[in-house]
Structure 1
Amino acid sequence: MITLLLALHPKSWRSRYGDEFRALLEARPMTSAVVLDVLGNAARQQVHSHPILLHIAMAMALSAGVEWVALTHQLTDNILWAPDSGPSAVLLAALLLPWLPLATDLVAATRQRRPRERLLP
């Protein structure tokens, strides 16, 4: 169980704190509160080391919420729809809007990794 809980943390975190954390977990009884605390810490560490995961999770949650509103107010019958009224157009924009920061982050990350071509010598 301890090995699994350690494996949930990012590799960089495990290499720095893994041995000490393993000793700490071995010294304590493995209660549900300890497991939940470790799971929460692992999630925080993963988000800290991969901030794009937080963007994806937030965009998914916001999109799901907007879709739920659209379905419960009978503005659409499915996830992908062509807006035929003002409210449904606003909901479609709200559904897509959370993904914009994620797309810009991905474009920025791609540009940082790829050297720019020189247009002029």
Structure 2
Amino acid sequence: MIDTQHALSLRHQSALLEVNHNRLKPKRAKIIEEDHKIILHLDEIHFKYCHMGQRNLIHELRDRGYEVGRKRVRRLMRLLGKEAMIPKPNISKRGDAHKIYIPLSETLL
């Protein structure tokens, strides 16, 4: 197969085998050990304070000694399948299935 000590470069060897050369490198783990610890704390915090969003969670995690950013917290929350329990946009709009009844006084005019 592919030999790292061969005279041909890895790119040329992979081209001859018709394989992408980026597939030769081992894949990096998506979650590192520190992420596991942060996930445990996020789960605990979210259980107590389910109304907290990403920005409040960042402050809470920083108080616990973790140096995290908003994007990292967002990624880990999405991975956990959790989100803040707050009113979402357009929650008070009327549904399409609801029929609108016009008052009789308007129809008689």
Query: Which one has the bigger helix percentage?
Result: 1
Output the TM-score relative to the length of structure 1.
0.27
Larger radius of gyration: 2
Structure ranking higher on relative contact order (CA contacts 8 Å, 6+ apart): 1
Output the TM-score relative to the length of structure 2.
0.29
